[in-house]
């Protein structure tokens, strides 16, 4: 008997999706903390968090910049959760949450200084082409930060790939290759000591 695939990670939906987002906020905390240690955020940076989920990383970024911090997710449940998490900033015009697909974003060229993606590129289609779409919306000399809980060598990778719908895991060298192929000028990577968590930062 084939086990039923887990669908909520790829696109949270319904009541179960709301619970999934709450779980992600908690389970991804260590990854988020390490990522924020690796990135330097300019106090005037305009930021977009792709796959914003429950909006906790938007909230962190809002404390580091006086500019706008926006979110993008193609899950209606995630958009609602991110909006609620950052309601004050949304009301003040410092944050907008966009419902859209990362492979075709309704965003003007060179709009953001920093774009982030926490635990989400596993589900992106045609990864190098999607990285090109991310590059399009980043300003010259801007940055794209990827944070994920596996460097492609985690002992649980095979289990996740077998059970989580639409998931694909990338190693650090693969990500560097795809990012440079998408037009980024340089790529720097960080690995948490004694862990599998990685952060990859590409400069346009």
Query: Rounded to two decimals, what is the model's pTM?
Result: 0.88
User: Each residue of 35-76: pLDDT tens digit?
Assistant: 999 999 999 999 999 999 889 999 999 999 999 999 999 888
Q: How many CA atoms lie within 13 A of 88 on its CB side?
A: 3
Domains located in the chain, CATH noted: 14-203 (3.40.50.150)
In this prediction, residue 15 carries a pLDDT of: 47
CA 110 to chain centre: 18
CA-based torsion, 100, 44, 86, 169: positive or negative: positive
**Residue 186 — pLDDT band, cuts 50, 70, 90?**
very high
User: What tokens appear for 16 in the block?
Assistant: 């179960």
pLDDT in tens, 11-20: 444 444 445 4
Cα–Cα distance, 112 to 16 (Å, whole number): 32
Q: Which of 25, 26, 21, 1 is nearest to 9 (CA)?
A: 21
Between 148 and 26, the more confident residue is 148
């Amino acid at each position: 008997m084939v086990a039923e695939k887990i669908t909520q990670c790829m696109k949270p939906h319904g009541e179960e999706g709301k619970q999934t987002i709450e779980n992600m906020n908690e389970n991804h905390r260590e990854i988020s903390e390490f990522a924020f240690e690796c990135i330097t955020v300019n106090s005037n940076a305009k930021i977009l968090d792709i796959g914003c989920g429950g909006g906790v990383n938007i909230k962190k970024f809002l404390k580091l910049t006086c500019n706008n911090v926006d979110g993008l997710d193609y899950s209606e449940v995630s958009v609602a959760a991110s909006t609620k998490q950052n309601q004050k900033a949304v009301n003040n015009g410092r944050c907008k949450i966009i419902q859209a697909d990362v492979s075709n974003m309704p965003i003007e060229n060179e709009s953001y200084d920093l774009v982030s993606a926490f635990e989400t590129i596993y589900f992106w289609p045609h990864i190098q082409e999607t990285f090109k779409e991310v590059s399009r919306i980043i300003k010259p000399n801007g940055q794209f930060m990827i944070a994920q809980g596996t460097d492609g060598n985690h002992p649980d990778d095979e289990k996740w790939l077998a059970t989580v719908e639409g998931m694909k895991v990338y190693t650090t060298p693969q990500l560097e290759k795809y990012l440079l192929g998408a037009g980024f000028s340089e790529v720097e990577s960080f690995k948490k000591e004694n862990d599998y968590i990685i952060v990859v930062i590409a400069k346009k």
